[in-house]
Amino acid sequence: MDERSRYLILHPLYRNSDLDQGLLRQTLASLQRVAIGYCSAALVGITLGILVGSSVWINRALDPIFQFLRMVAPLAWVPISLAALQRNEPAALFVIFITSIWPILINTAVGVRQIPEDYINVSKVLKLSKVDFFFKVLLPSALPYMFTGLRIGIGLSWLAIIAAEIVMSGVPGIGFFIWDAYQQNYVTEIIVAVIYIGAVGLLLDRLMSVLQNKIANQ
């Protein structure tokens, strides 16, 4: 193993310049983007999902559009978002957003549509108010589905950020790091970075799983 790689492994937190940083710093930069993109996707996705799930007509109108957009690969969004947003940073966020929103939205919609008939009947008989119905019946009932969506979504957003950073060079992040290493033919560095990416993906998934068990599986 060469000296550079060893240094990288032993010093994850060094910082020379914006683009020349330790791997942990690079990862954190990427994660920060994921956090912003993913959270906005979750917010918009769940809201839209509830809307779509509770109305057959909205669902019929929007479902084809969702299915159409869902099939567009994250990389295909990169040029569009760059062209539209002009700058690298917001474009990267948008790619994450648009990649991870679909599973969240669709699963939430399914969850809302699958509220057992019995629960709906009970709330009808009790004449529960809209607010009560939302918080006491709809949300808890759809929660497991939402979490399934959120868990798939976080995986996708992590995939997307790597792809996005590779393409839109010039921002610090683990994706750009790989691209840079490839340009300079440092294959061992790429392998080290891939291990980082995998480990972070695993951690993110576990984190969601813990959250899911805590909140949704009562």
Where would I find the H helices in the chain? 3-10, 23-54, 56-70, 74-85, 88-113, 117-125, 130-132, 139-167, 174-183, 187-215
Give CA–CA dist 91/60, Å, rounded: 30
Q: Contact between 182 and another protein (CB under 8 A)?
A: no
Cβ proximity to another protein, 144 vs 155, nearer residue: 144
Q: How far is the CB of 54 from another protein (least distance, A)?
A: 18
Cβ proximity to another protein, 83 vs 125, nearer residue: 125
Tell me the number of residues near another protein by CB under 8 A: 17
Q: How far is the CB of 143 from another protein (least distance, A)?
A: 8
Buried b (16+ CB within 10 A) or exposed e, 139-173: eebbbbbbbbbbbbbbbbbbbbbbbbbbbbeebbb
Give CA–CA dist 191/169, Å, rounded: 19
Cβ proximity to another protein, 127 vs 214, nearer residue: 127
Residue with tokens 């940083």: 21
Q: How far is the CB of 39 from another protein (least distance, A)?
A: 25
Cβ proximity to another protein, 130 vs 185, nearer residue: 130
Q: Are 175 and 88 in contact (CB under 8 A)?
A: no
Cβ proximity to another protein, 115 vs 154, nearer residue: 115
Give CA–CA dist 61/59, Å, rounded: 5
Burial of 78 (0-12, 13-18, 19+ CB in 10 A): buried
Q: How far is the CB of 195 from another protein (least distance, A)?
A: 40
Residue from 91, 137, 171, 197 in contact with another protein (CB under 8 A): 137
Window 65-104: contact mask with another protein (x via CB under 8 A): ----------------------------------------
Q: Are 75 and 132 in contact (CB under 8 A)?
A: no
Q: How far is the CB of 52 from another protein (least distance, A)?
A: 23
Cβ proximity to another protein, 184 vs 214, nearer residue: 214
Among positions 116-135, residues that touch another protein (CB under 8 A) are: 116, 118-119, 121-122, 124-129, 132
Per CB under 8 A, residues contacting another protein are 116, 118-119, 121-122, 124-129, 132, 136-137, 140-141, 218
